[in-house]
Structure 1
Amino acid sequence: MLHLRSIYRFPLKSGQGESLTQVGLDALGVVGDRRWMLVDEATGRFLTQRADPKMSQLSALWNASGGLTLSTAGTAALEVEVPDANTDLRGVTIWRDTLRVPDAGDAAARWLSAFIGRPVRLVHVPLERARTTEAGYGRDDDKVAFADGYPLLLIGQGSLDDISTRLGRPLDMLRFRPNLVVEGSEAFAEDGWKRIRIGDVEFRLVKSCSRCILTTIDPQTGERDEQREPLMTLMSYRKQEGGTMFGQNLVNDSHGVLEVGMPVTVLE
């Protein structure tokens, strides 16, 4: 029987993930997921591990008020409150999207600039300022926070086991940064799913996830694999039109609560 094996949240885009046993869902997916982002102070362009692998060592934990607790080895932690949704707006760019979102203030900027090594700002996206998902996939009113394109990412445990076997060593699921991991299906069975239900919540699977160099960064050490693995192995058998695919982007059609161990039903 299919069941929900793991739940992950990434409060800060490209920061460390946190494993959860239970989580709520709202209009932007997992509550607190990718609601915060680092941007270059001068240009407003978003930062990720693709160019700054050390972000993998940055802990940014979500708290009940929606704020962040920033911490990293050797530095005192910093509590960051959610900024007002309509003041101190900063223009930012994430992929092809440009938007104006609240800036988290100078204290957070100083702390994070010292960590990154150049001037950066921390921004937050409230629901009313969220982006819409990519045109041509899903519905016109589907929303996303600072995730690359969609509010949720699902991967089957069998798919991870498959790439690990081909590579000859076990891989950490966090390399692929999913929100939901489903166990009990064959490798890449999720490629054929269109709608699923977990608990009382239904989801639409709208697009395969194209993978990039970020998968070659060890989430535990922040080091990039010299052989560009596991991306090279993935490319050998998962390259399709549009990219090297691993995992499925999805949208939740209602709010609710998910718990590890819940049954997963394929509706279509």
Structure 2
Amino acid sequence: MARLARIAVFPIKSLDPVACDTARIVENGGLEHDREYAMVDADDRYINGKRTPKVHRIRSTFDPGFSAVTLHREDVGGAERFDLETDRESAESWLSSQFDPPVQLKRETAGGFPDDTTLSGPTLISTGTLREVASWFPDIGVEELRLRLRANLEIDGVPPFWEDRLFADHDHLVAFEIGDVLFEGINPCQRCVVPTRDPHTGEAHDEFQRVFVEKREEMLPEWTDSDRFDHFFRLMLNTQVPESAWGAELAVGDEVEILGERPVEERSESA
């Protein structure tokens, strides 16, 4: 039986995840506190893993309620705690010492700062997929792969690449429910440079993309619509959440039910 096994939010975009037992869907269809803050430069450009491997050296942990963050570098030590409600400038100063150019922390509580502002719902992968892909790399375990791929939702009780059932061709979406929350599966996520790097050091794995692409194509399941793959560096599901589901809550242990394909113009909230 497919069930929700893990929920992860990334309160500061590009930094560490926080595992949650429950999560609320907020405006724009994202998870509450996910990518709520983003590091940007003076030109409002993200300072993230796509731009610099330096982000991987920074560890972040959050107080309950996400009002304060503790930051440190594994190779330096000296953790410091910052109140994001009352003293965000001090956190910006600490982060600025790690990067060039200096950092500003922007905040957006209505859906955060997703990579894809159109497909702004939680990203989803299965535990089976993580185990299978980790087996392709002798030096990478499942937990490290989680940190490399950075999915919000993880589904257990299903075979590897089961999440490929949750997208269809370009003219259709796949409606599914996790608990009482309605989702629309849209496409397989196009990966960037981030999964190719060690999530703790930023060191590049020179063979990661080559091995990944070869194995992904080789092991593409029969249920996967191969027309959605202009290349095979794709893994994880991009979703949308209909406005009718904003405010609903997910919980670890919720069952997952596939409702079926629908034309893109039909949209799930009209069903």
> Normalising by structure 1, what TM-score?
0.76
Q: Distance in 1 between matches of 2:136 and 2:84?
A: 42
Aligned to 1:130: none
1:34 matched to which residue of 2? 35
- Structure 2 residue aligned with 1:88: none
- Which position in structure 1 is the counterpart of 2:212? 234
- Please give the root-mean-square deviation of Cα atoms over the aligned residues, in Å: 2.3
Q: Where does 1:160-199 land on structure 2 (aligned, <5 Å)?
A: 160-168=130-138, 169-172=140-143, 173-193=146-166, 194-199=174-179
* Number of equivalenced pairs: 227
Write out per-residue CA displacement over residues 130-183 of structure 1, whole angstroms, 9 at most, x where no aligned residue: xxxxxxxxxxxxxx5312112310001111122122334533212100000001
> Which segment drifts farther, 159-168 or 24-33?
159-168
CA apart distance, 1:204: 0.6
Q: Deviations over 1:12-36 (max 9, x none)?
A: 1101111112222212411110011
Match of 1:124 among 94, 107, 125: 107
Picking from 113, 134, 151, the partner of 1:146 is 113
Contact 1:211 1:243 in 2 (8 A): no
Deviation, structure 1 residue 105: 5.5
1:256 aligns with 2:248: yes
CA distance in 2, matches of 1:34, 1:48: 12
Quickly say closer, same or farther: Cα 1:53–1:11, change in 2 above 3 A.
Answer: same
Q: Which residue of 1 aligns with 2:93?
A: 110
- Consecutive unaligned residues of structure 2, counting only runs of 5 or more, are 167-173, 218-228, 261-271
Does the CA contact (< 8 Å) of 2:198 and 2:205 recur in 1?
A: no
Q: 1:126 to 1:7 in 2, by over 3 A?
A: closer
CA deviations 1:43-86 (Å, max 9, x no partner) are: 2211112333232323153753x64424213132111118xxxx
Equivalent in the alignment of 1:139 = none
- 1:163–1:233 Cα contact (<8 Å) kept: no
Matched, 1:9 2:13: no
Q: Distance in 2 between matches of 1:9 and 1:209?
A: 17
Structure 2 match to 1:222? 201
Separation in structure 2 between the aligned mates of residue 69 and residue 46 of structure 1, nearest angstrom: 19
Match of 2:190 in 1: 210
Equivalent residue for 1:47? 47
Answer yes or no: is the 8 Å Cα contact 2:3–2:256 preserved in 1. yes
**What TM-score, normalized to structure 2?**
0.75
SS at match of 1:37: strand
* Distance (Å, rounded) in 1 between the aligned partners of 2:136 and 2:232: 19
The 2-side partners of 1:227 and 1:52 are apart by 16
Q: Which runs of 5+ in 1 are unaligned?
A: 83-103, 128-143
Give runs of aligned pairs for residues 69-88 of structure 1, distance below 5 A: 69-72=69-72, 73-81=77-85
How far off is 1:209 after superposition? 0.3
In proportion to residue count, which structure has more strand?
1
- CA-CA distance at 1:122 after TM superposition: 0.9
What letter matches 1:235 in structure 2? V
In the TM superposition, what is the alpha-carbon distance from 1:185 to its structure 2 partner? Answer: 1.7
Question: Identity of paired residues, percent?
Answer: 26
- Taking the aligned partners of 2:82 and 2:23, their CA distance within structure 1 comes to 24
> Given the superposition, is the C-alpha separation of residues 75 and 236 from structure 1 closer, same or farther in structure 2, using an over 3 Å criterion?
same
How much has 1:109 moved relative to structure 2? 2.4
The residue identity in structure 1 corresponding to 2:195 is T
